[in-house]
Amino acid sequence: MTPTLQQTEPTSSRDDRKAVVTLDSIVKEFGDVTAVDGVSIEVRDGEFFSIVGPSGCGKTTTLRMIAGFERPTRGRIHLEDEDVSQVPAYERDIGMVFQGYALFPHKTVGENVAFGLKMQGVPEEEREKRVADILSLVNLPGTEDRNPTELSGGQQQRVALARALVVEPSVLLLDEPLSNLDRKLREEMRFELKRIQNELGITTIYVTHDQEEAMSMSDRILVLNKGEMEQIGEPYEIYHGPSNQFVADFIGDINALPGTIVSKTDSQYTVELEDTGDEIDLPRSVAGRELQVDARVNVNVRPADSQLDTKLEEGISLQGTIEAINFLGKSANILIDVNGREFLVQANGRTAGGRYQPGDSVTVNWKTEASILLQES
């Protein structure tokens, strides 16, 4: 037991579940390029764990190392209690859904799904039953004799999922499984994936560049950038308490106002904003970690946490001019010029939508505690 280590982990009821996949300081180098640099994670039993980051951040390489298609240059990978770092892919108890589905074009849907069972030597009769069961689970009952090429993208996706799940692996890996689907189908499949994952209670590691997708489905999220871990935590934590400017920018929209810390007390920081010269006081709780006087910082605020012309008891106000209004129905995105810096406010569509015109002078407000104070990266 190392109590100090435990304190750094987010407190959550899930913590007592056993780790199914453990990565220990994984490094992967391709020649001179370090694709993954020191990634350590513990994915717990039944957890839906996402790895997000921009393209080239090492998320797919990480997943491929877990699957066994790449060997880590350094570090260990454990599957339950077994060190699988050097175990070939076909001996790992892991199911995977590929970005392009990778359905065997020369086999029927039934043969595709039965493939893993055949490799395990499951007798044909049982194979047929299990294939039929899993195809009903993914809402494609009776499609055994179809050719995968006859199916739509969404259906192929379900077949790929069924093929990975039918062998009852201890972990399911999903590599950008929704990226080839159109928007509407993508949203449907999010619910579908989550339903199936819940129903089976299977430990799932999900790789995506779409942070919204990750947030809507995951128990926890790892944000990767240039092969390094930026933050690991629950969606709420990562969205509202990003640990650095990269995470703040990558996860959701954010307004970042640069400034300098001019003084600090035991309870608050005073920041002078670069654009307006305003000095604002922020409680220490909005900063992720201790900041020094003269440090270059960003005062961040989410567009959805910002308002226009509102009287707030504990708030921050800035003067600006409306540049553009993008009315979306339930909300309106209003772009405001605050002394040369663009500031986005996501206002309520009903109250703000018809009230403003471009060129209007407005006050931008947000609650002090909605600020996120981060060191400039």
Partner 1 sequence: MGLIRTLSSNIDLSDGFSTRLLKVHTLLLFTFLYVPIGVVVLLSFTPDQVPTFPMPGISLQWYAEILPPNYNEELISALFTSLKIATLSSIGAGVIGTLAAFGMVRHDLHIRWLSTDKLNTAFLLPLVVPWIVTGIAVATLYSLLGIYGTFWSVVLGHILITIPFVVTIVSSQLYGFDRSLEEAAQNLGASEIRTFYEVTFPIVVPGILGGMLFAFTISFDNFTQTFFWTSFGTDTLPVFIYSMIRTGIDPSVNAIGTVIVGFSLTVAVIGEKLSQRVLD
Least separation in angstroms between residue 108's CB and partner 1 is: 11
What mask, x for binding partner 1 by CB under 8 A, covers residues 156 to 195?
Answer: -------xx--x----------------------------
Q: Is 153 in the site for partner 1 (CB under 8 A)?
A: no
Pick between residue 112 and residue 371 the one whose CB is nearest to partner 1: 112
CA angle 150, 144, 155 (to 5 degrees): 45
Least separation in angstroms between residue 144's CB and partner 1 is: 17
CA angle 17, 19, 23 (to 5 degrees): 155
Q: Which of 53, 58, 72, 95 binds partner 1 (CB under 8 A)?
A: 95
Pick between residue 164 and residue 189 the one whose CB is nearest to partner 1: 164
Q: Which of 19, 27, 87, 89 binds partner 1 (CB under 8 A)?
A: 89
Least separation in angstroms between residue 341's CB and partner 1 is: 45
* Three-state secondary structure call for residue 298: strand
Q: Is 132 in the site for partner 1 (CB under 8 A)?
A: no
Residues 230-249 that bind partner 1 (CB under 8 A): none
Q: Give residue 356's identity as a one-letter amino acid code.
A: Y
Pick between residue 30 and residue 191 the one whose CB is nearest to partner 1: 30
Buried b (16+ CB within 10 A) or exposed e, 138-176: bebeebbebebeebeebbbbbbbbbbbbbbebebbbbbb
Separation of alpha carbons 242 and 230, rounded Å: 9
Binding segment (CB under 8 A) for partner 1, from list 2-10, 66-74, 262-270, 305-313: 66-74
Q: Is 320 in the site for partner 1 (CB under 8 A)?
A: no
* Three-state secondary structure call for residue 103: coil
Q: Phi and psi at residue 180, in whole multiples of 5°? A: -95, 5
Laid out side by side, the sheet with 82-83 consists of 33-44, 19-30, 74-79, 82-83
What mask, x for binding partner 1 by CB under 8 A, covers residues 100 to 119?
Answer: x-xxxxx--------xx--x
Q: Is 359 in the site for partner 1 (CB under 8 A)?
A: no
Q: Is 122 in the site for partner 1 (CB under 8 A)?
A: no
Helices H / strands E in the chain, number of each: 10, 20
Least separation in angstroms between residue 75's CB and partner 1 is: 21
Least separation in angstroms between residue 270's CB and partner 1 is: 55
Least separation in angstroms between residue 93's CB and partner 1 is: 9
Separation of alpha carbons 321 and 362, rounded Å: 6
Q: Which of 65, 67, 137, 221 binds partner 1 (CB under 8 A)?
A: 67
Pick between residue 103 and residue 221 the one whose CB is nearest to partner 1: 103
Spatial neighbors of 179 by CB under 8 A, at least 6 apart, are 99, 208, 209, 210
Binding segment (CB under 8 A) for partner 1, from list 82-90, 176-184, 222-230, 275-283: 82-90
Least separation in angstroms between residue 291's CB and partner 1 is: 46
Separation of alpha carbons 59 and 367, rounded Å: 35
Least separation in angstroms between residue 169's CB and partner 1 is: 9
Buried b (16+ CB within 10 A) or exposed e, 195-234: ebbeeeebbbbbbbbebebbbebbbbbbbbbebbbbbbbb
Least separation in angstroms between residue 242's CB and partner 1 is: 33
Least separation in angstroms between residue 85's CB and partner 1 is: 17
Q: Which of 98, 237, 317, 339 binds partner 1 (CB under 8 A)?
A: 98
Alpha-carbon Rg for the chain, nearest whole angstrom, is: 24
Question: Count of residues binding partner 1 (CB under 8 A)?
Answer: 26
Query: Closest Cα partner for 193 from 330, 326, 76, 97?
Result: 97
Separation of alpha carbons 45 and 19, rounded Å: 6
State the residue for tokens 């020369």: 106
Interaction site with partner 1 (CB under 8 A)? 67-69, 88-91, 94-96, 98-100, 102-106, 115-116, 119-120, 147, 163-164, 167
